[in-house]
Amino acid sequence: MRAFLIKCILYAGSLCTLPQLHKLANFLAKILLKQTDSRLISVTKTNIAQCLPNLSAPEQQQLAEQSIVETCKTFTELSALWLWSPTRIMTLVHKVSGEELLHNAYAQNKGVILITPHLGAWEMAGLYASQLYPITSLYRPPKLIGLQALILRGRQQLGARLVATDKTGIKALYQGLRKKNMIGILPDQVPTEAGMMVPFFGVDAYTMSLVSRLAVRTGAPVIFTFAERLPAGQGFHIHFMSASSDIYATDLHTSITALNQGVENCARQCLAQYQWSYKRFKGRDTTLYPDLYA
């Protein structure tokens, strides 16, 4: 029943324009910000305080409020990015920076490891990349099984192939690189298996080792990408950035640190659009998110 209701909301939202969907997000954020016991707001404020201690208390509060608005946009814009036609979706891209880096990387004929942080409209970043080159991307199947078909349809509509975050999915990534294709990974989720504690915004975070192992084993170039939201629902600015050479280091700590530094460099370009509401530091210190582990 819950999955059915979510689908109804998404299909209703697909009748709106992107500016209207973002205005809806602004309205939802205002309601959410009045909820003093909201876990999402609590985690957002905690992460910002931990990662950006140089900001004054008022600056941290302002960033947290902006972040909640952007988080709401992440959800409302799914109606457009999953349910509009591919042609209409691509009209939302108004600027692209660094795309030649991706083309040059692909021309090396080693495959490409495309890293998409939880920044801006990461669904848009994945869709844009998938219409350029064949791509196999990792994804975590939803807890609501009734949404899986909709999610797969939305994310695969421009040619991407999605594989689950399990041993079969990891194997598919290696196969994709062996075929000289592109693979896509979201790097800033707390891994369930192999990982290492390395700094992220100066705070130790348990970080996946998968990207580092893939890069070292295959020699495939690593490119970061994200879709920055433009003001007033005008669309998106797609960014592509090369990874530091340290990401190819055989020393795993050096490589994973370079991965987190790359994510941080992306996030600093539009701080409010980073997903500060995610419990990035869970498992490191159970007192960091008080009462949020139930």
pLDDT tens across 143-172, in order?
Answer: 888 889 999 999 999 999 999 888 898 999
Q: State pLDDT tens for residues 206-215.
A: 999 999 999 9
Closest CA to 242 of 138, 108, 93: 108
What pLDDT score does 212 carry? 96
Q: What average pLDDT does the structure give for the chain?
A: 93
Pairing relation of β-strands 236-242 and 222-229? Answer: antiparallel
Q: Which amino acid is at 216?
A: V
**Taking the chain, what is the end-to-end CA distance rounded to the nearest angstrom?**
24
Rounded Cα gap, residues 196 and 198, in angstroms: 6
Mean pLDDT of 52-62: 97
The answer on pLDDT for 56 being more than 80 is yes
Q: What is the pLDDT of residue 285?
A: 55
**Is the per-residue pLDDT at 263 higher than 90?**
yes
How does residue 139 score in pLDDT terms, banded at 50, 70 and 90?
confident
CA distance 135 to 139: 13
User: Could you tell me the pLDDT band of residue 37, with boundaries at 50, 70 and 90?
Assistant: confident
Give CA–CA dist 217/211, Å, rounded. 10
Q: What is the arithmetic mean of pLDDT over 196-216?
A: 95
> What is the rounded CA–CA span in Å between residue 243 and residue 255?
10
| pTM of full prediction above 0.85 | yes
Q: Give pLDDT, residue 284.
A: 56
pLDDT reported for residue 294: 40
**Residue-level pLDDT at 291:** 56
Mean predicted confidence (pLDDT) in 226-238:
97
The residue ranges of DSSP E strands in the chain, in sequence order, are 93-97, 112-115, 135-139, 161-164, 182-185, 195-200, 203-208, 222-229, 236-242
Could you tell me how many residues make up the chain? 294
CB 262 within 8 A of CB 247: yes
- Residues 255 and 209: their CA atoms lie apart, in Å, by 8
- Return the beta strands (E) in 49-105 as ranges: 93-97
Contact 82, 112 (CB under 8 A): no
* pLDDT for residue 293: 43
Q: What is the pLDDT of residue 3?
A: 83
Residue pair 278/288 in contact (Cβ under 8 Å)? The answer is no
Angle, to 10 degrees, between the axis of helix 57-76 and the axis of helix 39-51? Answer: 130
**Structure tokens given for 231:** 């003001």
**Within a 13 Å sphere around the CA of 209, how many CA atoms are in the beta-carbon half?**
13
Instruction: Note the pLDDT tens digit of each residue in 86-126.
Output: 999 999 999 999 999 999 999 999 999 999 999 999 999 99
